[in-house]
Chains A and B, each alone.
Chain A
Amino acid sequence: MPAGHGLRSRTRDLFARPFRKKGYIPLTTYLRTYKIGDYVDVKVNGAVHKGMPHKFYHGRTGRVWNVTKRAIGVEINKQVNGRIIRKRIHVRVEHVQPSRCTEEFRLRKAKNDQLKADAKARGEVISTKRQPLGPKPGFMVGGATIETVTPIPYDVVNDLKGGY
């Protein structure tokens, strides 16, 4: 009998709940709010059967484009043949987590706004651009002993070792 390719095929381990985390899911998943434009990670919760995304989307991150009563509409990129399509799926909130991908950016934005405001108060112009790491400065190697190694002259008799 050939293998089937059903909706949840090959998801035995993917959709399984982690060790010792079975049963009721903690309530913060239900208390979170999502707004359109937020980034969310799709992570399937095998304990809730409704509103599950297809296994392809497990582990993907996308933007919220719709909010309904119990589910979120997420727009995720999928590569089909040679192109990338923006797929819009609806997923129940149990299978969605807020993404931290923009967290660093938002924090940096807030900090930069603060720095710029301070600089404006002081009357100076600053650049808040991130600079890439340059080459490392030179340094003296500490605790090094110098051992000079030279090649020894080729000794025919020794190297053949009685095998000629």
Chain B
Amino acid sequence: MGGFVKTQKTNAYSKRFQVKFKRRRAGKTDYRARIRLINQDKNKYNTPKYRFVVRFTNKDITAQIVSASIAGDMVLAAAYSHELPRYGLEVGLTNYSAAYCTGLLLARRVLKIRDLDQEYEGNVEATGEDFSVEPAEGRRPFRALLDVGLIRTTTGNRVFGALKGALDGGLDIPHSDKRFAGFKKDDKQLDADIHRKYIYGLHVAEYMKNLADEEPEKYQAHFSEYIKKGIEADDMEALYKKVHAAIRADPSMAKSTKMPPKEHKRYNPKKLTYEQRKASLVERLNALNSSGGADDDDEDDE
């Protein structure tokens, strides 16, 4: 490495530097976890191993069922929380309840794709209790493994809300109730009522009531969208019940009509191809030589 005066990366340093995998440099993939999630038993040959991928952005929730292949991961089905307005939920699209809805939507979608939705209804009434799919007669339930990505798996994380949604939807995902919202570490038991509260957004409703009573200005600022849509704290449970029912009724994906991307003005000259550059060279040489007066037969050989 360079000395004190010029602390720059020497040539020697750069030559020896080994870059991490691209997605690791981007900080997007945990390869340790990925290897363990993707590795399929060799004596199962080409049987796909599905991952239930849940990712959160600042304004959206993505839930996908993905299987890995050498060409790239193949997404079997996906559900986004920005689809929830279609089912009647327009606000709070990144909270625990929305995560539950997204997981539920994905589960019903996948089961429909695989023609398992009649056989595996899952848990229609969300009670917050730990529910696992029972294998029915005939086909086995759709199995996937939860892929949390890089989030910290603390108790009550929204990822587990999505997990609960998928489980209640009828997917077979190995899990434990230790990280659901409402798990008491002291009793080592899941308090189903508390979990149910989170699924139906009653934790948000409580906060809304609290703010409305004590700090009305903050309430106006924080829950402005709710107020605009006319959603009160007491409507929460009914609202989410409706959304769950709407999701179960029609989980199919809506085709979105995308407009062709707008043409943008070019601010820099477009790069020429090899042929174009060769042709322009020939032209320039011809022009030079014709103005010079010498013969210009040789140019075409170059």
Contacts and interface: CB of A to CB of B under 8 A. Distances in A.
Interface string B34-74: 11001111110110000000000000000000001110000
The B contact surface, by secondary structure, is loop
A31 B20 CA distance: 20
Given A20-B16, A21-B18, A31 B70 contact: yes
A31 B43 CA distance: 12
A44 B298 CA distance: 57
Nearest to B34: A27
Contacts of B274: none
B38 A72 contact: no
Interface residues on A, range: 20 to 34
A27 B68 contact: yes
Contacts of A67: 42-43, 45
A27 B42 contact: no
Given A30-B39, A69-B42, A20 B70 contact: no
A16 to B, nearest CB: 14
A93 B42 contact: yes
Interface in B1-42: 16-18, 20-21, 31-32, 34-35, 38-42
Interface string A1-43: 0000000000000000000111110111011111100000000
A151 to B, nearest CB: 46
Contact of A28 (B16, B31, B41, B70): B70
B20 to A, nearest CB: 7
A22 B18 contact: yes
A20 to B, nearest CB: 4
A26 B42 CA distance: 17
B292 to A, nearest CB: 34
Given A69-B42, A70-B41, A71-B42, A23 B20 contact: yes
A68 interface: yes
Contacts of A69: 41-43
A23 B32 CA distance: 11
Nearest to B32: A24
B46 A27 contact: no
A24 B21 contact: yes
Interface in B215-265: none
Interface residues of B, number: 20
B57 to A, nearest CB: 25
The A contact surface, by secondary structure, is loop
Contacts of A31: 38, 40, 68-70
A33 B68 contact: no
B22 to A, nearest CB: 11
Nearest to A70: B42
Contacts of B69: 31
Given A31-B70, A32-B70, 20 more contacts: A20-B16, A21-B18, A23-B20, A24-B31, A24-B32, A24-B35, A27-B34, A27-B35, A28-B70, A30-B35, A30-B38, A30-B39, A31-B68, A33-B46, A67-B42, A67-B43, A68-B42, A69-B41, A69-B43, A72-B42
Interface of B: 16-18, 20-21, 31-32, 34-35, 38-43, 45-46, 68-70
Q: Which 7 A-B pairs have the closest CB atoms?
A: A20-B18, A69-B41, A24-B31, A67-B43, A67-B42, A33-B45, A30-B39
27 contacts: A20-B16, A20-B17, A20-B18, A23-B20, A24-B21, A24-B35, A26-B21, A27-B31, A27-B35, A27-B38, A27-B68, A31-B40, A31-B68, A31-B69, A31-B70, A33-B42, A33-B46, A34-B42, A35-B45, A67-B45, A68-B42, A68-B43, A69-B41, A69-B42, A69-B43, A70-B41, A71-B42
